[in-house]
Amino acid sequence: MIRQFGDTFVLDTENTTYCMKKLVTGQMEHLYYGKKLYIDREEDVLSLVEKHEFAPGNTNIYDSDHPQYSLEDMRLEMSSYGKGDIREPFIETVHDDGAMTDDFIFESAVIEDGRQKLSVMPCAYDDEKTVNELTIILADKNYGLKLELHYCVFEGRDVITRYSKLINESESDVRLKRLMSMQLDFEDSGYVFTTFNGGWAREMNRHDTLIYAGKHVNSSYTGSSSSRANPFVMLSHEDTSEDHGDCYGFNLVYSGNHYEACEVSSFNKTRYVSGINPQSFEFLIQKGEAFETPEAVMTYSPYGFNGMSQIMHEFVRECIVRGKWKHKVRPVLLNSWEAAYFDINESRLLKLAKAGKDVGVELFVMDDGWFGTRNDDKQSLGDWYVNKKKLPQGISGLCKKINDMGLDFGIWVEPEMVNVNSNLYKEHPEWVIEIPGKPHTEGRNQRILDFANPQVVEYMTNVMSDVFSSAAISYVKWDMNRIFSDYYSKYLPKERQGECAHRYILGLYSMMETLTQKYPDILFEGCAAGGNRFDLGILSYFPQIWASDDTDALYRVNGMTGYSYGYPMSVVSAHVSACPNHQTLRTTPLATRFNVAAFGVCGYECNLCDMSKNDLLEIKEQISIYKNWREVLMYGTFYRGRCGNVHEWTCVSKDRKRAVGMIMQELVQPNIQFEQFFPKGLEEQAKYKFFNRDLRYNIKGFGDLVNTASPIHIKQDSVLHNVISKFVTMPGECEEYTSSGSVLMAGVKLKQGFAATGYNDNTRYYQDFGSRIYFMEMI
Ligand code: GLA
């Protein structure tokens, strides 16, 4: 709900309030964002207004009529350089006369039922609950510019989104150097700024920075939202924990270069801004034109990180993801990449698909290598016609055979890229991002097509339409495997080169919009060398994203925990792969690889044709368990528990009748036999049955300890050892308890863990990277 009391605006969601008031000087003063406040009259907010009788020493007063105000010490809804506020600005422009000072003051406000859509970028929506929009219109005192601050209140979601729009109503051009999507000023300091950083194959590691002074920036300049610094960030307090304390969560519906800065002023006030990265950004806005920012998402919860995450999860699931797959469980897929890399052909793919079908896979995906002369990553990107040597009957022939097996068929593409060694590059060098006549810095032997040029977007949209129409394709993995260098669009004039990176994203969005509208049944999965473009912009078109090229279970448990702060597990695609793992050479138990992947959109990416019978049996059982529980896993409420040497997750169905839990340990602690599992989110008084899977262990996992039980001596790794291990397995412990949710949540004491002595079916065999998955059913 949005209410106006005189100069005061109060924005309420079910459990939060956001409040601002026009200052006598005309700027909008930020008053509050946090837990719900009950406000009925303008006077009710007076205690929230900062009191100023004089401007602090060595600061500038805004104007002589109001000597008590220095903008440097005010909480503002937007700020700019030049009129006293020297902190991180919301907007920076260069006017026709060369001046760089903006002076925006309140002009009017509009409150609407429903929300406006952004004109060139995706934005959040709500089909089920009320959304209202407040537009504060500010006018620059000197230059004929208007600035709209938009606030969309997603009442039943506890989310408020913001975006802004600059309109040039002056007679001359203006050069826009930065325009943020949001600004939030707090009256105090000492916030913990949490960002999620990493790189290829190690995305989303949580970093906490306590800020009492200075500025901390989280940004990307890769041309994408990046694996280096995800646009999702949090602000909390030092004592905030997973389940208690204040937590603000922020994200941006944008896939390009982004910027989140947290700064503490000399008056101990914290400012947070977020938007398009101003680095090398410049947009020329001619008379009568406007520029709109991406939408920023913000939420607050007093219930710790989990409380905030759960709001974000529901918001992403309901208000960002759209289309047919929004509420549909996703098929269990088998992807050819780690099974065969570029070495694919029809017969190999069919064998792999058949092996997948036998264990319960539902969708077979042909990854890279099927087009042009794509035998390695040095060629053919851009040449999207089938390699007839590998697939003599084309995509349609292969697809038909896969469909006949009872499997759906999916394909990999990388539409934004081109290899210099390709026909497309030879025919259209002018369609590529590179500086004419200058050497180019390469990434993965490829270059980026200039999606700032509408002709390139149109061409590639048509090419992709041809590919998607060429067979019964029901899934597309849309990849993007390099970061930008040498930013330059040959389509744009030299004074507009600062627009290249942003216009690229607009071109990308228009292509994604056309193709997802044209192929509404296709399940699209985003990918950018794994998680180099994992953001709400992509999720506005594609309901899931390949989270990382790293399929190692130990990395994944950390990476998926990182993603889980801002994103629901229903958008995080996760695969079980072979061991030693291809990225880390680490060996983790097959059960653990599944237990971790099952919490995301679970698939397989390994050569099933070469796997042992026992492993295939295990995978078959995993897939059947997953199918039985995937509704809960994909759409339940996700809780993080411990996160350290022990990782704990629980996912509880909406009606709280079913839940799945996961515990994993990184390294074994010798002579520590005790462990417990803490489920979360169960109904306190309801009775649940708590149980685990039937597990049997390969005796080879016990090494030559086999001799403590065997009547004959068995040499470790001998032929005999291998033969016996095929027939003899060790029983796993059984955990079965029936009690109320409150009792289970007090900690389920697990069977004693193996520690040197003895082993029987009441012992928990729990090696390095060991894990368990537990099920809870209300009775
Ligand atoms: C990227 C993706 C991988 C795979 C390869 C194919 O690295 O992240 O999953 O598709 O490209 O070249």
Q: At what angle do helices 304-315 and 553-566 cross, to 10 degrees?
A: 80
Q: Is the CB of 414 under 6 A from ligand 1?
A: no
Q: Is the CB of 552 under 6 A from ligand 1?
A: no
Closest CA to 545 of 555, 558, 560, 557: 560
pLDDT value of residue 717:
93
Residue nearest to atom 9 of ligand 1 (CA): 549
* Mean predicted lDDT score pLDDT of the chain: 97
* Tokens linked to 624: 């059947």
Extended strands (E) in 187-294 = 191-199, 202-211, 214-219, 233-236, 247-253, 258-264, 270-276, 283-285, 290-292
The string of pLDDT tens digits covering residues 474-487 is 999 999 999 999 99
Cβ-Cβ contacts under 8 Å for 625 (sequence gap 6 or more):
598, 693, 773
Q: Has residue 757 got a pLDDT over 80? A: no
The best mutation among 334, 337, 342 to test binding of ligand 1, ranked by most ligand atoms within 8 Å of the C-beta, falls on 337
The pLDDT confidence band at residue 648, using thresholds 50, 70 and 90, is very high
Distance between start and end Cα atoms, the chain = 40
If you search the block for the tokens 């306590």, which residue do you land on? Answer: 210
* Tokens linked to 548: 């990382």
- Pick the atom of ligand 1 nearest to 527's CA: 8
**From CA 761, how far away is CA 766, in angstroms rounded?**
13
Strands 159-168 and 295-301: antiparallel
Contact 521, 324 (CB under 8 A): yes
pLDDT value of residue 718:
94
Q: Is the CB of 638 under 6 A from ligand 1?
A: no
pLDDT value of residue 416:
98
Residue nearest to atom 8 of ligand 1 (CA): 529
3-state secondary structure of 537: helix
pLDDT value of residue 517:
98
For 730, phi then psi, to 5°, come to: -95, 135
- Pick the atom of ligand 1 nearest to 529's CA: 8
Ligand 1 centre to CA of 653 (Å) is 33
The best mutation among 227, 341, 368 to test binding of ligand 1, ranked by most ligand atoms within 8 Å of the C-beta, falls on 368
Cα–Cα distances in angstroms (integers) from residue 78 to residues 92, 214, 330, 355, 742, in the given order? 11, 19, 42, 58, 47
**From CA 447, how far away is CA 336, in angstroms rounded?**
24
**From CA 334, how far away is CA 353, in angstroms rounded?**
8
Closest CA to 149 of 171, 128, 164: 164
The best mutation among 481, 546, 552 to test binding of ligand 1, ranked by most ligand atoms within 8 Å of the C-beta, falls on 481
3-state secondary structure of 107: strand
The string of pLDDT tens digits covering residues 74-116 is 999 999 999 999 999 999 999 999 999 999 999 999 999 999 9
Q: Is the CB of 527 under 6 A from ligand 1?
A: yes
Q: Is the CB of 545 under 6 A from ligand 1?
A: no
Ligand 1 centre to CA of 581 (Å) is 16
Q: Please indicate, yes or no, whether the overall pTM of this predicted structure exceeds 0.85.
A: yes
The pLDDT confidence band at residue 755, using thresholds 50, 70 and 90, is confident
The best mutation among 344, 413, 527 to test binding of ligand 1, ranked by most ligand atoms within 8 Å of the C-beta, falls on 527
For 114-178, give the DSSP string.
S-PPPSSS-----SSS-EEEEEEEEEETTT-EEEEEEEEEEGGGTEEEEEEEEEE-SSS-EEEEE
Ligand 1 centre to CA of 201 (Å) is 11
The best mutation among 380, 444, 479 to test binding of ligand 1, ranked by most ligand atoms within 8 Å of the C-beta, falls on 479
Q: What residue type is 579 in one-letter code?
A: C
Residue nearest to atom 1 of ligand 1 (CA): 529
If you search the block for the tokens 């060139």, which residue do you land on? Answer: 120
- Helix (H) / strand (E) element for 408: namely strand 408-413
- Pick the atom of ligand 1 nearest to 528's CA: 8
Ligand 1 centre to CA of 640 (Å) is 29
Q: Radius of gyration of the chain from Cα atoms?
A: 28
Residue 15: Cβ within 10 Å count = 16
Residue 611: Cβ within 10 Å count = 17
pLDDT value of residue 727:
87
Q: Is the CB of 200 under 6 A from ligand 1?
A: no
**From CA 259, how far away is CA 216, in angstroms rounded?**
11
Cβ-Cβ contacts under 8 Å for 615 (sequence gap 6 or more):
590
**From CA 683, how far away is CA 778, in angstroms rounded?**
9
The pLDDT confidence band at residue 395, using thresholds 50, 70 and 90, is very high
The best mutation among 333, 412, 556 to test binding of ligand 1, ranked by most ligand atoms within 8 Å of the C-beta, falls on 412
Cα–Cα distances in angstroms (integers) from residue 461 to residues 334, 466, 484, 523, in the given order? 27, 9, 21, 17
Contact 467, 411 (CB under 8 A): yes
Residue nearest to atom 5 of ligand 1 (CA): 368
Residue 204: Cβ within 10 Å count = 27
- Pick the atom of ligand 1 nearest to 530's CA: 8
- Helix (H) / strand (E) element for 349: namely helix 346-359
Residue nearest to atom 6 of ligand 1 (CA): 368
Cα–Cα distances in angstroms (integers) from residue 652 to residues 572, 593, 636, in the given order? 17, 21, 5
Q: Is the CB of 368 under 6 A from ligand 1?
A: yes
Q: Is the CB of 529 under 6 A from ligand 1?
A: yes
Q: Is the CB of 198 under 6 A from ligand 1?
A: no
Give helix then strand counts, H and E, for the chain.
Answer: 13, 40
Contact 561, 647 (CB under 8 A): yes
pLDDT value of residue 209:
98
Cβ-Cβ contacts under 8 Å for 427 (sequence gap 6 or more):
none
| Arithmetic mean of pLDDT, 534-551 | 98
- Pick the atom of ligand 1 nearest to 481's CA: 1
Ligand 1 centre to CA of 221 (Å) is 21
Break the chain down into helix, strand, coil percent, rounded to 5. Answer: 25, 30, 45
- Helix (H) / strand (E) element for 182: namely strand 174-186
pLDDT value of residue 759:
82
Ligand 1 centre to CA of 529 (Å) is 6
Q: Is the CB of 367 under 6 A from ligand 1?
A: yes
Q: Is the CB of 337 under 6 A from ligand 1?
A: yes
Q: Is the CB of 479 under 6 A from ligand 1?
A: yes
Q: What residue type is 508 in one-letter code?
A: L
What percent of the chain has a predicted confidence (pLDDT) above 90?
Answer: 96
The pLDDT confidence band at residue 708, using thresholds 50, 70 and 90, is confident
pLDDT value of residue 329:
96
What percent of the chain has a predicted confidence (pLDDT) above 70?
Answer: 100
Residue 437: Cβ within 10 Å count = 5
Strands 748-749 and 696-698: unpaired
Residues forming beta bridges with residue 412, ordered by sequence position = 477
Q: Has residue 756 got a pLDDT over 90? A: no
pLDDT value of residue 504:
98
Contact 293, 148 (CB under 8 A): no
| Arithmetic mean of pLDDT, 633-662 | 97
pLDDT value of residue 623:
98
- Helix (H) / strand (E) element for 395: namely helix 394-404
The pLDDT confidence band at residue 641, using thresholds 50, 70 and 90, is very high
**From CA 626, how far away is CA 775, in angstroms rounded?**
12
Q: Is the CB of 203 under 6 A from ligand 1?
A: no
Q: Is the peptide bond before 580 cis (omega within 30 degrees of 0)?
A: yes
Ligand 1 centre to CA of 336 (Å) is 10
The string of pLDDT tens digits covering residues 412-458 is 999 999 999 999 999 999 999 999 999 999 999 999 999 999 999 99
Residue nearest to atom 2 of ligand 1 (CA): 529
Q: What residue type is 222 in one-letter code?
A: T
Contact 271, 185 (CB under 8 A): yes
Q: Is the CB of 605 under 6 A from ligand 1?
A: no
The pLDDT confidence band at residue 598, using thresholds 50, 70 and 90, is very high
| Arithmetic mean of pLDDT, 162-169 | 98
3-state secondary structure of 385: coil
| Arithmetic mean of pLDDT, 248-266 | 98
**From CA 124, how far away is CA 537, in angstroms rounded?**
10
**From CA 357, how far away is CA 151, in angstroms rounded?**
49
Q: Has residue 122 got a pLDDT over 80? A: yes
Q: Is the CB of 636 under 6 A from ligand 1?
A: no
Residues marked active site are found at: 479, 549
Ligand 1 centre to CA of 368 (Å) is 7
If you search the block for the tokens 């039922």, which residue do you land on? Answer: 113
Ligand 1 centre to CA of 412 (Å) is 9
If you search the block for the tokens 């985003």, which residue do you land on? Answer: 526
The pLDDT confidence band at residue 386, using thresholds 50, 70 and 90, is very high
Contact 726, 614 (CB under 8 A): yes
Q: Is the CB of 339 under 6 A from ligand 1?
A: no
Three-state SS annotation for 638-698: EEEEEECCEEEEEEECCCCCEEEEEEEECCCCCCCCCCEECCCCCCCCCEEEEEECCCEEE
Q: Is the CB of 748 under 6 A from ligand 1?
A: no
3-state secondary structure of 303: strand
Task: Supply angle C-alpha 675, 677, 680, rounded to 5.
Answer: 160
Q: Has residue 534 got a pLDDT over 90? A: yes
Residue nearest to atom 7 of ligand 1 (CA): 529
pLDDT value of residue 336:
98
Closest CA to 74 of 217, 138, 65, 83: 83
3-state secondary structure of 343: coil
Determine the distance from the C-alpha atom of residue 136 to the mean position of all C-alpha atoms in its chain, rounded to a whole number: 30
The string of pLDDT tens digits covering residues 4-24 is 999 999 999 999 999 999 999
**From CA 82, how far away is CA 71, in angstroms rounded?**
10
Q: What residue type is 289 in one-letter code?
A: E
| Arithmetic mean of pLDDT, 229-250 | 98
pLDDT value of residue 64:
94
Q: Is the CB of 547 under 6 A from ligand 1?
A: no
If you search the block for the tokens 């800065």, which residue do you land on? Answer: 261
Ligand 1 centre to CA of 194 (Å) is 29
Q: How many residues in total does the chain contain?
A: 779
Task: Please give the biggest Cα pair distance in the chain.
Answer: 99
